[in-house]
Structure 1
């Protein structure tokens, strides 16, 4: 797969215009900030509350916005035009992911600021958040390719929203239900684990396993989105 920065940038600009005109999708960008303000007013909820808001941001922005942008292309029958254009698979997927990535990172930084979250090792947390963003964008891409309209996209993303936002709350039940232990290997739980270890003074070496697993999840999501995109392109 070849890559053209010019083509990817053109797709980025097009998505920016589409998102700014679609109030239904762009209005969801306010929700993470609402949750951040709400929990900051309650008091210091610690790392768990902070990452509850961050995981909501991943679901509402990285997954939903990415899913909606692709679904809108399909709804307007413009995605097929992109597929038949000289742009490569990498041009299209990275171009359509760039806006979501930038928006997600801005909202995470803004939410962290509102909640007065200052990690002890910013480099480790920044890397974990970036890798996690790639994973959720990959999930959003796959869900977008599965849907046909923006309304359908808004419904289908409810599943990952509840799963990735609220599944960490089930971990205290691990002693009663052994299968819940599987949740510890999910990217949202791994991210929270990294955050707790960083607060205890961990560096890159101490969280190497968790970062490796997060990277594996991100690569799996990327490969899955490429495979699904190529299949849709063939169809």
Structure 2
């Protein structure tokens, strides 16, 4: 099936209109920015403090916006029975995901960049910052889409998604407790992004460690795309 820009554009416009009317979604988008601003005033004196706050707020944004919001908007399609219509209209998994995800990607990227400037990080690092955060956002959107498509409604996205996304959010905080948490964290995309941020902002030379961290994030993107495509195709057959 050919990839249709027209279908993707129609999905994008529909999603942008729906999100602009959803107060809960708008609050979830603004919350990481609010916390980043508040924490920057309270604890953001040193470079280490700024970097820690930025990583915490980035993790929150990864979970709330690409994760939960993506799940909610897809579950909403199921509630309205429009997901079935899209599937019967021969919308491919890639078209569906791109159409839904584009607005989430733009919101997440805008939020991340705004937090970058709130914390007063140097413009020298902005390019790498954008590349790394976009990769993590894509991986989280894919798994948010998986949660959304297997959920019966928006309410159940919290029940299904909370255990999954809390792993991404909380495991990096527990790495100092024992090596088990550290080993698990080293397999998560957001923790590898945190490691990359620490190396980038401390001017560490790009080497094999960078390649490993990027490879882990890319692996999550590939796995997420495969899982979503399989579930979407299965739902379409059902």
TM-score by length of 1: 0.92
Residue pair 1:72, 1:150 contacting (<8 A) in 2 also: yes
For 2:12 and 2:180, the matched residues in 1 are separated by 44
- Does the CA contact (< 8 Å) of 2:171 and 2:181 recur in 1? no
Given candidates 168, 171, 182, the residue that maps to 1:167 is: 171
Relative distance call for 1:203 and 1:229 in structure 2 (3 A) is: farther
Matches of 2:125 and 2:22 in 1, distance apart?
A: 37
Aligned length: 233
* Secondary structure at 1:185 match in 2: coil
**2:100 equivalent to 1:113:** no
Alignment of 1:146-157 (within 5 A): 146-157=150-161
Q: Which runs of 5+ in 2 are unaligned?
A: none
d(CA) in 1 for partners of 2:234, 2:103:
24
Please give the per-residue CA displacement for 1:164-207, whole angstroms capped at 9, x wherever unaligned: 22211111122xx5464232221111111111111232354451
Do 1:70 and 1:145's aligned partners in 2 also have CA atoms closer than 8 Å?
A: yes
RMSD, matched Cα:
1.8
Structure 1 counterpart SS, 2:186 = helix
Aligned to 2:89: 85
Matched, 1:192 2:227: no
TM superposition outliers: structure 1 runs of 4+ over 6 Å: none
Aligned to 1:23: 23
- Residues 9-34 of structure 1, C-alpha deviation per residue, up to 9 Å, x if partnerless? 10000111111222222221121111
Residue of structure 2 in register with 1:66 after alignment:
70
Bigger shift: residues 50-59 or 150-159: 150-159
Secondary structure in structure 1 of the residue aligned to 2:175:
helix
The SS at the match of 2:218 is helix
Distance 1:188 1:19 in 2: 25
Structure 1 unaligned residues grouped into runs of 5+: none
Give the TM-score normalised by the residue count of structure 2. Answer: 0.91
Confirm or deny: 8 A CA contact 2:78 2:152 kept in the other structure. yes
2:61 to 57, 69, 91: 57
